[in-house]
Amino acid sequence: MLNSIAPYFILSYLAYRSLQISYVLTLVLCFFAALFVVRIFIIFHDCGHGSFFKSRKANDFVGVITGILTFTPYFAWRHSHAVHHATAGDLDHRGIGDVWTLTYDEYQQMPRWKRIAYRMYRNPFIIFIIGPSIEFVIFNRLPGANNSDKPRDKRSVMWTNLALLGIVLFFSFTIGLKNYLLVQLPIIAIASSIGVWLFYVQHQYENVYWERHENWDFASAALYGSSFYKLPKVMQWFTGNIGFHHIHHLSPKIPNYKLEDCHNDNPIFTELEPLTLRTSLKSIRVRLWDEDRHKMIGYHKAAHDAAEAAMAEAALAVE
């Protein structure tokens, strides 16, 4: 917590002071502050799983505080994320805490306007640049956007909103609303985009696991429906080891600071093919689940089939 939250506040302060020098410098400092927000969100995330501390009260207390720092209502998010863990990779239980994913047949049977809406949602500029800021700044403020009926979950949205309002008012009267927004908005925009990208590539890649409910298996969904995102050590640190997502889904009670040890101590995990920064970029092109081939494909199945045939022919030619 010390090496995550303290640097965030220090960099935020320096970003504010740099407004008098150059806004380019401000944005550079905001970028690094955003990296620490990502790390803070992993603490928040682990608290939601009850894994960061042994004490439930400590998890909830720190979860609420870090939720305010990351613009996310703790108890409301914890509910939707628990649903995500219980249904990841289950084709018959999509829609809560996940990325909107259609099968190829579902997409083909949709009216044109819904296909356009799906394409817009899946557009990289929308899903990774515009969408994350809207999600964290606006949607997280709406009690109706939460799918839980529990009063505590609903109240957590309200209390988080009141806390954020208090922060905005405090800085409005001290440094000015404009200065606050010039620093805070870039930070939350960059951090949310990084966070959504991480979540996306952890569950959206060509050979990901999806099954109908009657064939769905928890362990298979964890190991093959959640990627091993092998990041450079610096980014692994900033993202709180969340790249070991297959282990996290297999056992959410393992805290982020033990995931790498778990991976190294168990030979079964070394057999899994990791995603790298380079190979993860291919995930942008997969948008639909092909139930016949059991893999994610683009919008045009014929084009996908032709590409595979061309690759097969090329392989034969080499042989």
User: What rounded mean pLDDT belongs to the chain?
Assistant: 91
Largest CA distance in the chain: 72
Give the number of C-alpha atoms closer than 13 A to the C-alpha of residue 57, restricted to the C-beta side: 0
Q: Residue 147 pLDDT > 90, yes or no?
A: no
Q: Residue 315 pLDDT > 80, yes or no?
A: no
Residue 142 pLDDT level (bands cut at 50, 70, 90): confident
C-alpha 229/C-alpha 280 separation (Å) is 8
C-alpha 22/C-alpha 17 separation (Å) is 10
Q: Which domain holds residue 248?
A: 2-318
C-alpha 138/C-alpha 140 separation (Å) is 6
Total domain count, the chain: 1
Q: What is the pLDDT of residue 319?
A: 60
Q: What is the pLDDT of residue 314?
A: 60
Q: Which of 34, 13, 18, 64 is nearest to 174 (CA)?
A: 13
Q: Residue 117 pLDDT > 70, yes or no?
A: yes
Amino acid identity at 143: P
Phi then psi for 289, rounded to 5 degrees? -95, 120
C-alpha 254/C-alpha 222 separation (Å) is 14
Q: What is the pLDDT of residue 162?
A: 96
Residue 274 CA, distance from chain mean position: 18
Residue recorded with tokens 């609420």: 64
Q: What is the pLDDT of residue 14?
A: 97
